[in-house]
Amino acid sequence: MTYEPFLSAVRAKPEAGKIIATTLDYPMVMDTFGCTPKFLAENPKAAKALADSYFEALAMIKADPKKSFEIMGADVKQTGEAFEKSQAFLRWQDKAANQKFFAGEHAAFSKEAAELLLEVGIIKAIPDLSKLADTRFIQ
């Protein structure tokens, strides 16, 4: 499994490999960041700053996409132009989209996954699913 910008490298040079599925086909593959409950309890200001920084980066992408793509491209050893092309396959989720996701899709997916894990014997009991994600930092 891989992600952008590596998928775009294969798109640009199809003889190098094949893409079997992408997030366009199966949109639940996502990049995330998270913190342990202990870290959140001990460092709530840092956790809030982490979440806020992500949303500030989204605002920068909207306000100055060229500069944003140059910064992000440099991190993955691409030009700004190359990163811009590969990021076209991504969905950047703003605060409202994050809130909606955790209130709906995440909860539904977690319930379905827990039931399946219980059924096949991976877990012995379904945990309190309301504690899987601490969403106070995206409010």
Q: Is residue 56 part of a domain?
A: no
How far is C-alpha 74 from the chain's CA centre? 20
What are the Cα distances from residue 77, in Å, to 5, 39, 100, 113? 10, 31, 33, 36
Asked whether residue 120 is domain-assigned, the answer is: yes
Q: Is residue 109 part of a domain?
A: yes
Please report, for residues 49, 67, 69, 74, 93, the alpha-carbon distance to residue 57 in angstroms, rounded to integers and kept in the order given: 12, 11, 11, 15, 11
Domain span holding position 119: 94-133
For residue 12, being part of any structural domain is answered with: no
Question: What pLDDT was estimated at residue 12?
Answer: 85
- The total of structural domains in the chain comes to 1
pLDDT tens, residue by residue, 7-26: 788 888 888 788 776 656 55
pLDDT at 135: 92
Instruction: Say if 103 falls within a structural domain.
Output: yes
Q: What is the pLDDT of residues 80-126, one digit of tens each?
A: 999 999 888 788 899 999 999 988 988 898 999 999 999 999 999 99
User: Quick check: 9 and 106 in contact, CB under 8 A?
Assistant: no
